[in-house]
Amino acid sequence: MLAGPLFRRLVRFLQLHMELTKARLSSLVVVTAGGGYVLAAGFEDSARLLWTLLGTFLASAGAMALNEVWEVGRDARMHRTATRPLVTGALPRWYGLVFGILCSSFGVVLLAWKSHPLAALLGLLVIALYVLVYTPLKAKSPFCTLVGAVCGAIPPLMGWAGATGSLAPGAWILAFLLFFWQIPHFLSLAWLYREDYRRGGFRMLPEVDPEGRLTGRFSFLYALATAGSALSLALLRLAGAYFTAGAILLGGTLVFFAWRLAAAPSDRTARALFRTTLLYLPLVVVLSAVDRRGEVKSSQVAEAPAPPAAALIWVRER
């Protein structure tokens, strides 16, 4: 008879932590890190790949939790975030802080131990940027979008570093692709929720661009850059003909919907662009993994040494 209540409590526990860690966004981070790993080294060392993805997920989840701890007051004023667990009190704020620190720290340590120290260093960098720079900047300047895009561009570098222990040109192309993609993705979302962001006190571009002209133009320009970055993978012969055809089709679609937003800013055109960005990224990542032509073998990478005790202590204190 206790099975039913216990099961419901477990489900509720998982739901609260999925909301605390922004599970969908953290999952997207894992997908892009996985894309970087597979494009660099394929699936030869599946154990290293899994450790890299797990460490990346934990680091990302911890950073998301710390972001919610910082923004709990502003989240309470926004309709789309008013039901988050720290806002409603379903989870206490101190718990979110402790959970975020432990989760992100363990993710970094796991990357250093089971993946590669360079991947761990990049993970620590993205946590610091996301929590200490991007989060407070959201309330001060529309340039926060660019900082957030830098944070989102690092996970494929982490995947590539986990696979090879270095960062080749292909890794940087993936990073630029992620950076450019995030601008139309974030700007279309910011336009749709511009009133909500204003209530929360966040300084997104639509607040200083009420007519949407800059929002649309920047979305269009960065969509072009996104499509061009994807095709660069084919130019470097990191991906084949199937990827090239798919990248042209997907890139053309992204640019088309970004052009519609630039030509006529509205909730309808912004929503269409936002949905297109959600489809574009995972499809491009999957295509690059399926039609990869990388020559790096993960077996060529030496096992990452266990981090020294001093480094572990320093990470925990962070």
The 10s digit of each residue's pLDDT in 251-289 is 999 999 999 999 999 999 999 999 999 999 999 999 988
Per-residue pLDDT band for 317 (boundaries 50, 70, 90) equals: very low
4-13, 71-80, 146-155: range with lowest mean pLDDT = 4-13
Q: What is the DSSP letter of 113?
A: I
| CA neighbor of 63 nearest in space, from 277, 312, 318, 310 | 318
Whether residue 87 is predicted with pLDDT greater than 50 in this model: the reply is: yes
Enter the pTM of the model. 0.89
Whether residue 134 is predicted with pLDDT greater than 50 in this model: the reply is: yes
Distance of alpha carbon 216 from alpha carbon 254, whole angstroms: 13
What are the pLDDT digits (tens) for 11-48? 899 999 999 999 999 999 999 999 999 999 988 899 99
> What is the phi/psi pair of residue 247, to 5°?
-65, -35
Per-residue pLDDT band for 315 (boundaries 50, 70, 90) equals: very low
Distance of alpha carbon 87 from alpha carbon 17, whole angstroms: 13
Whether residue 306 is predicted with pLDDT greater than 60 in this model: the reply is: no
CB 222 within 8 A of CB 257: no
Q: Report the percent of the chain where pLDDT is more than 70.
A: 91
Q: What integer best gives the mean pLDDT of the chain?
A: 90
- Residue 3: its pLDDT value, please? 65
Across the range 297-311, mean pLDDT stands at: 42
CB 290 within 8 A of CB 242: yes
Q: Report the percent of the chain where pLDDT is more than 90.
A: 81
Whether residue 312 is predicted with pLDDT greater than 60 in this model: the reply is: no
168-172, 194-198, 235-239: range with lowest mean pLDDT = 235-239
Per-residue pLDDT band for 294 (boundaries 50, 70, 90) equals: low
In angstroms and rounded to an integer, the radius of gyration of the C-alpha atoms of the chain is: 20
What are the pLDDT digits (tens) for 97-126? 999 999 999 999 999 999 999 999 999 999
Region of residue 22 (phi > 0: left; psi between -120 and 50: alpha; otherwise: beta): left
Whether residue 224 is predicted with pLDDT greater than 70 in this model: the reply is: yes
6-10, 162-166, 258-262: range with lowest mean pLDDT = 6-10
| CA neighbor of 108 nearest in space, from 150, 167, 51 | 51
Distance of alpha carbon 126 from alpha carbon 180, whole angstroms: 17
Whether residue 138 is predicted with pLDDT greater than 70 in this model: the reply is: yes
- Residue 291: its pLDDT value, please? 87
Whether residue 5 is predicted with pLDDT greater than 90 in this model: the reply is: no
